[in-house]
Structure 1
Amino acid sequence: MKIIIINGPNLNLLGKREPEIYGSQTFEAYFELLQEKFPTLEMEYYQSNIEGELIGKIQEKGFSYDGIILNAGAYTHTSIGIGDAIKAVTTPVIEVHISNTFSRESFRHQSYISPVAKGVILGFGMKGYDLALLSLL
């Protein structure tokens, strides 16, 4: 089973950025733990701060992979293009957010991804990625 985790803007700063919200662990360190926890999965990780690169990666993997786990960061609330890319591909997409976006600023309550995602997991910290992987199994 081939799965890609795609993280959007500022998630490259996990471990440094607002640790009270996002924790103190880097995503790279967490990804290693995920690989150990799910050794039978072929997993890939991709991160970009650039909207078009995220769309390109969704299109590239969205017809040949078994699942996409997407944390689009702030693009969740602004990118019709990412939503359209998800609609265009056949691979199921699970939307993940580390924080509970509904407990934060009101602009974070809107998602252009949720209506086209297979499911949404938010507010469970990094554990949300584990839950997304389990949902794809």
Structure 2
Amino acid sequence: MPSVLVINGPNLNLLGTRQPEVYGRTTLADVEDACRTRAASLGLDVAFVQSNHEGALIDAIHAARGTHDGLVINGGAFTHTSIAIMDAVASVELPMIEVHLSNIHAREPFRHRSYLAPVAIGQICGLGMAGYLYALDALAQRFAA
């Protein structure tokens, strides 16, 4: 069964309470539950990592090589700052889809730049929790091809 690692970066542990006008009231546990349900319906195994620490996210990406078949990453603010995470994704050579709850292109100018986009097979933003589910759909289609 193909396996996907869903990685959530800084402050995503506060979903549901942090700026609900931007990120909604859905919690990270809600996102993970919905992903588990969608993954099961697609015949995927799914695992989750959340950290507020860049190095821990890099370690999780490195550990995914040989264990998982694809990545879904919401890098949070590291999306806009971390060349190291971009390099880690490029190094493991796994298909990755970048996800954001809000539309990063309609927000502050510094959020328009994504260091993850050049190593992603796709980017989904502005669709809330559904973006994670669409990312799983896309990876499942890729694995089936």
TM-score (norm 2): 0.91
Distance in 2 (CA, whole Å) between partners of 1:51 and 1:37 is 28
Structure 1: distance between partners of 2:99 and 2:38: 18
Q: Which runs of 4+ in 1 moved over 2 A?
A: none
Given residue 110 of structure 1, which amino acid in structure 2 is its aligned partner?
Answer: R
Q: 2:143: which partner in 1?
A: none
Number of matched residues? 137
Distance in 1 (CA, whole Å) between partners of 2:18 and 2:69 is 31
- Once residues 10 and 4 of structure 1 are traced to their aligned partners in structure 2, the CA distance between those partners, rounded to angstroms, is 18
How far residue 102 of structure 1 moved from its aligned partner, in angstroms, is 0.8
In the alignment, which residue of structure 2 is the partner of 1:101?
104
Give the fraction of aligned pairs with identical amino acids, expressed as a percent: 48
TM value normalised by structure 1: 0.96
Give 5+ residue unaligned stretches, structure 2: 141-145
1:57 positional shift: 0.4
- The equivalent of 1:114 in structure 2 is 117
Is 1:62 equivalent to 2:65 in the alignment?
Answer: yes
Structure 1 unpaired stretches of 5+ = none
Letter in 1 for 2:18: R
| Aligned alpha-carbon RMSD (Å) | 1.0
Higher share of residues assigned helix: 2
CA distance in 2, matches of 1:77, 1:22: 17
Query: Does the Cα contact within 8 Å between 1:64 and 1:91 map onto a contact in 2?
Result: no
Q: Distance in 1 between matches of 2:31 and 2:74?
A: 14
